[in-house]
C-alpha cells in the first residue's frame, strides 16, 4: 500500500493472525437443504446433502482452491463459510472463535474480515447505485471513518483495482464485465478483510480479461496479505492461483493436496478423471494424451450413492466401495489427503503431464511484485 494510505478507524487492534497461523478451521461441516412438501403442514420429505461432513483448515496468507463439477457443493461451502447460509451441523472457527452459531448481529463484526467476490459481475452489483456508493457501502456500514475519509479511501481502492477516479460517479451498466468484476473486488477489499472468498470470480469473463483479473487478485494478495478461498471449475486457473487445492464431489472433499502435487500425482480416481478431461492448447499433446472419459452424470445429492459417492462412475470400484465410505487419509507427502479404497499409486503412477518437471515451478516467495 502507498505511504499516503488513508488510515481508517477500522484499522483496529485485536488478535492479529500472523502469516502461516490457522485462520479458518472447518470441522465436520454439514449443510443440508430440506425439501418440504404438503399444503398446510410442510413436512420435510427429503434433504439435499449439499455439503456433507467437510473438514479442512486454512492458514493466513495462503490460497485454497476449490474445484469440482456443478452441484458438488463448492459454492454452498463458500456461502457457509461466509455464513450467508446457516450451518446444519459442525463447527467453523474463524480466528479462533466458532462462528457457526453466530447471530446476525455477531456476524456483522466478523464480516469485516470475511468478504466475498461473486461469479456474475452483472448480478452482484446494484444497478441503481453509483460505483462510489457500491464501494463505500461496506465502509459506511462499518462506520469506518468520516465522509471525507471514506471518499479518499474509495478513490484509493479504485486506483488499486485498476480503475480511475472518474469512474466513481458512474453506474455498473457503463462498465464491461472485467471492469465490473474489478468493482466487485474493490468492494470486497474495502474493509481490508483477512479472508476473501472468491466464487468463480473469472468464469464469466473472456480469456484475455480473465488473465487481467487473476493478476489483479494475485497482486492484491501480495500487497494486502490476503487469504483466499478460490472457487473455479477451470482447473488451469485454480492451479495458477492456489497453494493448496481441495477437490469436491457430491458434497465431500475427496482429495486435498498442495497444488502442484495434485496435478502431478493425483491419488483419487475422480481427480485423475477430472485432470484427464482438461483440454490443452497444444494439438500434439492433445492427440497423444490418453483420455479417460467419465461415463454418466453426477448423481443426485438428495439420495447420494452408498459407500464412496464416486463408485458408480469409478473404473476401479469394487465391492468395498459400495459398502464402506472411505476416510480422508494421507497419501504421498504431508498434507496430501484422499478418500479412496483404491488410491492410485503415488510412487509409480505415470501422470498426464510427465513432460513438466515439478522443480520448474517458481518458488512462492518470488511471486511478490515490485
Partner 1 sequence: MADPLLDIRDLKVSFRTDDGLVRAVDGVSVSLYEGETLGIVGESGSGKSVTVMSVMRLITDPNAQFDGEVIYKGTNLMGMSQDQIRSIRGAGISMIFQDPMTSLNPVYKVGWQIEEQIREHEHVSRQAARDRAVELLTAVGIPNARERADAYPHQFSGGMRQRVMIAMAVSCNPDVLIADEPTTALDVTIQAQILSLIKKLRQDFGTAVVLITHDMGVVADMADRIAVMYAGRIIEQGTQRELFYDPQHPYTWGLLGSIARLDRPRPRRLTAIPGLPPSLMQLPAGCAFGERCAHRFERCRETPLLLDRTGTGHLDACHLSAQQKQDVRDRAIHPELVEERP
For binding to partner 1 (CB under 8 A), which residues are involved? Answer: 69-70, 176, 178-179, 206-212, 214-215, 218, 233-237, 239-240, 260, 263, 273-283, 285-286, 291, 293-295, 297, 353, 355-357, 360-362, 366-367, 369-370
Pairing between strand 252-258 and 244-249?
antiparallel
Measured from the CB atom, the residue of 142 and 258 that comes closer to partner 1 is: 258
- Closest to 192 measured CA to CA, from 156, 240, 168: 156
Measured from the CB atom, the residue of 13 and 366 that comes closer to partner 1 is: 366
Pairing between strand 337-338 and 329-330?
antiparallel
Measured from the CB atom, the residue of 73 and 193 that comes closer to partner 1 is: 73
Cα 162 to Cα 69, 131, 148: the distances in Å are 32, 14, 22
Please give the grid coordinates belonging to residue 59.
492458514
What are the E-state strand segments in 38-166? 43-59, 63-67, 89-94, 97-98, 114-117
- Closest to 59 measured CA to CA, from 89, 35, 94: 94
Q: CB of residue 158 vs partner 1: minimum separation in angstroms?
A: 17
Q: CB of residue 167 vs partner 1: minimum separation in angstroms?
A: 13
Output the 3-class SS for 284-323: HHHHHCCCCCCCCCCCCCCCCCCCCCCHHHCCCCCHHHHH
How many whole angstroms separate alpha carbon 1 and alpha carbon 28? Answer: 38
Measured from the CB atom, the residue of 150 and 314 that comes closer to partner 1 is: 314
Measured from the CB atom, the residue of 109 and 280 that comes closer to partner 1 is: 280
Measured from the CB atom, the residue of 75 and 88 that comes closer to partner 1 is: 75
Q: CB of residue 209 vs partner 1: minimum separation in angstroms?
A: 8
8 Å CB contact between 245 and 236: no
Q: CB of residue 297 vs partner 1: minimum separation in angstroms?
A: 5
Pairing between strand 114-117 and 97-98?
unpaired
Q: CB of residue 336 vs partner 1: minimum separation in angstroms?
A: 18
The secondary structure of the chain in percent helix, strand, coil, rounded to multiples of 5, reads: 35, 20, 45
Q: CB of residue 82 vs partner 1: minimum separation in angstroms?
A: 24
Measured from the CB atom, the residue of 102 and 175 that comes closer to partner 1 is: 175
Tell me which residue has cell 470475511. 114
Q: CB of residue 344 vs partner 1: minimum separation in angstroms?
A: 17
Amino acid at each position: 500500500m502507498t505511504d499516503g494510505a488513508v488510515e481508517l478507524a477500522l484499522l483496529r487492534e485485536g488478535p492479529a493472525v500472523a502469516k502461516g497461523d490457522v485462520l479458518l478451521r472447518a470441522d465436520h461441516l454439514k449443510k443440508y437443504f430440506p425439501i418440504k412438501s404438503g399444503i398446510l403442514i410442510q413436512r420435510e420429505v427429503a434433504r439435499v446433502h449439499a455439503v456433507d461432513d467437510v473438514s479442512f483448515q486454512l492458514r493466513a496468507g495462503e490460497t485454497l482452491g476449490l474445484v469440482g463439477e456443478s452441484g458438488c457443493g463448492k459454492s454452498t461451502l463458500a456461502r457457509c463459510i461466509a455464513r450467508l447460509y446457516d450451518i446444519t451441523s459442525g463447527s467453523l472457527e474463524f480466528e479462533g472463535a466458532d462462528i457457526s452459531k453466530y447471530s446476525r448481529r455477531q456476524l456483522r463484526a466478523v464480516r469485516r474480515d470475511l468478504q466475498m467476490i461473486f461469479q456474475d459481475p452483472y448480478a452482484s452489483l446494484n444497478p441503481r447505485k453509483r460505483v462510489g456508493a457500491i464501494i463505500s457501502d461496506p465502509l459506511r456500514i462499518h462506520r469506518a471513518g468520516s465522509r471525507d475519509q471514506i471518499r479518499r479511501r474509495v478513490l484509493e481502492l479504485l486506483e488499486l483495482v485498476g480503475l480511475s477516479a472518474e469512474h466513481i460517479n458512474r453506474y455498473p451498466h457503463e462498465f464491461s464485465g472485467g471492469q465490473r468484476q474489478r468493482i466487485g473486488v474493490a468492494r470486497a477489499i474495502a474493509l481490508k478483510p483477512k479472508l476473501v472468498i472468491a466464487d468463480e470470480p473469472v468464469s464469466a469473463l473472456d480469456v484475455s480479461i480473465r488473465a487481467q483479473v487473476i493478476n489483479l487478485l494475485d497482486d492484491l494478495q501480495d500487497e494486502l496479505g490476503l487469504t483466499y478461498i478460490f472457487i473455479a471449475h477451470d482447473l488451469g486457473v485454480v492451479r495458477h492461483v492456489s497453494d493448496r487445492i481441495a477437490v469436491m464431489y457430491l458434497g465431500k472433499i475427496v482429495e486435498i493436496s498442495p497444488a502442484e502435487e495434485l496435478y502431478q500425482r493425483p491419488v483419487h480416481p475422480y481427480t485423475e478423471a477430472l485432470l484427464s478431461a482438461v483440454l490443452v492448447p497444444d494439438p500434439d499433446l492433445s492427440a497423444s494424451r490418453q483420455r479417460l472419459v467419465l461415463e454418466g452424470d453426477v448423481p443426485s445429492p438428495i439420495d447420494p450413492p452408498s459407500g464412496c459417492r464416486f463408485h458408480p462412475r469409478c473404473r476401479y470400484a469394487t465391492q468395498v466401495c459400495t459398502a464402506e465410505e472411505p476416510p480422508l487419509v494421507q497419501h504421498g507427502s504431508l498434507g496430501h489427503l484422499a478418500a479412496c479404497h483404491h488410491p492410485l499409486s503415488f510412487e509409480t503412477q505415470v501422470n498426464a503431464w510427465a513432460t513438466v518437471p515439478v522443480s520448474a515451478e517458481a518458488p512462492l516467495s518470488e511471486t511478490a511484485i515490485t
